[in-house]
Amino acid sequence: MAENKTNILFVCHGNICRSPMAEFIFKALIRARGLENRYYVESAAVSDEELGNSIYPPAKRCLTQHGVPFDTNRTARQITPADYKRFDLIICMDRSNLNLLKYIIPSDPEGKVRLLMSYTGHTRDVADPWYTGNFEQTFNDISTACNTMLLK
């Protein structure tokens, strides 16, 4: 965490597919633009189902196919109430994540919590590839939204 950076936490259900994809896509985008000194990025889950597990292998393959580096030692963690203070933005992948987040962080007085696709002007969710199997579509949605976030 850094005081002079924008601290961003990407959130999905288990922190093994969408949110780590968003974490590493965003890190690759800021690295490519030389903006590492402006952002600090992590990801987390709203559930405890996958705690300690690595990124899901198909998500790793998708990132690799697109040339997006990721930390092979990274494991899933659950968001905590303290994360609200630590992060400037808490970006959820879907409405279910938003609803479950309320059990951990009951209120958002500073307006930090947002849906990822809202940055693209859409109100839709980023589909969970754990269920759809379509990691490419998820990658494209996340990439588009992350690029748009950097332009705002």
Tell me what pLDDT residue 2 has: 61
Residue linked to tokens 């990801």: 43
Burial of 132: CB neighbours in 10 Å, binned 0-12, 13-18, 19+: exposed
SS3 track for the chain:
CCCCCEEEEEEECCCCCHHHHHHHHHHHHHHHCCCHHHEEEEEEECCCCCCCCCCCHHHHHHHHHCCCCCCCCCCCCECCCHHHHHCCEEEECCHHHHHHHHHHCCCCCCCCEEEHHHHHCCCCCCCCHHHHCCHHHHHHHHHHHHHHHHHC
Q: Which candidate, 94, 74, 90, 93, places its Cα nearest to that of 82?
A: 90
Q: Which two tokens stand for residue 67?
A: 């040339």
Tell me what pLDDT residue 3 has: 72
Active site residues: 12, 18, 128
Q: Which two tokens stand for residue 102?
A: 């309320």
Report the distance separating Cα 126 and Cα 142, nearest Å: 7
pTM here is: 0.96
Q: What is the pLDDT along the chain (152 residues), one digit of tens a residue?
A: 567 899 999 999 999 999 999 999 999 999 999 999 999 999 999 999 999 999 999 999 999 999 999 999 999 999 999 999 999 999 999 999 999 999 999 999 999 999 999 999 998 999 999 999 999 999 999 999 999 998 76
Tell me what pLDDT residue 110 has: 97
- Angle among Cα 147, 129, 98 to the nearest 5 degrees reads 70
